[in-house]
């Protein structure tokens, strides 16, 4: 745990790492599976729009 926290501080910072984890959890909660999880996560972070409804929209758009 301590090593993971130290790694987060050095590599990307705690806030950015936490946001990615939060976005990933939202993507999974919205129904993303497999490779779609990472795609939805990255788009939400890039758009700075990490919300359940946005994740649902992205899943619908990308899962065609």
Tell me: the pLDDT tens digits for 3-61? 776 666 666 666 677 789 999 999 999 999 999 999 999 999 999 999 999 999 999 99
Q: How many domains does the chain have?
A: 1
Token pair recorded at residue 46: 């890039």
Structural domain including 16 reads 2-62
Average pLDDT, the chain: 87
DSSP characters over 8-38: HHHHT-HHHHHHHHHHHHHHHHTT--THHHH
- Tell whether the model's pLDDT for residue 1 goes beyond 60: no
pLDDT of residue 12: 60
């Amino acid at each position: 745990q301590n090593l993971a926290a130290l790694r987060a501080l050095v590599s990307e910072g705690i806030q950015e790492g936490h946001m990615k984890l939060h976005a990933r959890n939202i993507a999974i909660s919205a129904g993303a599976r497999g490779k779609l999880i990472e795609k939805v996560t990255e788009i939400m972070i890039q758009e700075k729009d990490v919300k359940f409804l946005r994740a649902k929209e992205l899943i619908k758009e990308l899962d065609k």
